[in-house]
Amino acid sequence: MNTYSKEHVAYLRAIRTHRQAVRLCRALVLLLFLGLWELGARLGWFDVFILSSPSRVFSAIGRLWGEGNLFLHVGVTLYETVMGFLLGTGLGILLAVILWWLPFVNEVMDPYLVVLNALPKIALGPVLIVWIGAGMGSIIVMAVLISLVVTTVTVLSGFTAATTEKQFLMRTLGATKAQTFLKVVLPAGVPHMMSALKISVGMSWVGVIVGEYLVSKSGLGYLIVYGGQVFKLDLVMASVVILCLLAALMYGCVALLEKRFQK
């Protein structure tokens, strides 16, 4: 038996209608963009050689599929990105926990974290190639370095957001530091952890593509460099479109994880 009032049912229906309208508008914006892009290419509004068109992009993806190279390049880039994302976020959260647990170390390391966060990690690319070698390992390390500091700073700010009064109350009640962390600090830091994961998704893709620019012989970054060198810009645009789809899929997985934590 339905125990909801008419007002409550109307409110839930309004929320559902709003979400459906948002999804519909998103789809319409994408379709409008693709339609104008294709129309502009066919009517000569811009140089098709430079900006390509949706039909040419899909044809390039079809050629990769037919040659049997599509899943090879997508699989390499996706593996590197997922590994860099998991390692970067895992180490970043662990480092944030250590810095919260040791306030003196946190104060000492604070300026260094600021400097590392501002440092262009791309500049370390040649050094990583010499240290680790021109292979997948250096690409994954690049992705880890780019996402590590951002994750650490974001999560640590969430841990410090837990009010001092709550922590003092826990100590007054006889709680240990571990209990204070688990009962007060960690729950307060969960929203910041989810934000860090979302940011780290983009950072991991950036790190991997930059690494593939430098050393890779396979992957979507390699296809972009190769397509630019031989002036196959359809291949470049096709790789960019695939990157957008994969990044959106990975971001969607993180968003689903966030909803689960919120519940």
pLDDT at 28: 93
Angle at 134 between CA 131 and CA 136, to 5 degrees: 100
pLDDT digits (tens, 9 = 90+) for 234-254: 888 888 888 888 888 888 888
pLDDT digits (tens, 9 = 90+) for 99-117: 888 888 888 888 888 887 7
Positive or negative torsion for Cα 235, 239, 240, 244 = positive
DSSP state of 2: -
| 237 or 6: which leads in pLDDT | 237
Q: How confident is the model at residue 162 (pLDDT cuts 50, 70, 90)?
A: low
| 108 or 134: which leads in pLDDT | 108
Cβ-contact 76, 216 below 8 angstroms: yes
State the CB neighbour count (10 A cutoff) for residue 35: 11
Q: Which two tokens stand for residue 248?
A: 């959106």
Q: What is the pTM of this model?
A: 0.79
Q: How confident is the model at residue 3 (pLDDT cuts 50, 70, 90)?
A: low
Angle at 118 between CA 122 and CA 225, to 5 degrees: 20
Residues 6+ apart with CB under 8 A from 212: 77, 80, 139, 219, 220, 221, 222, 225
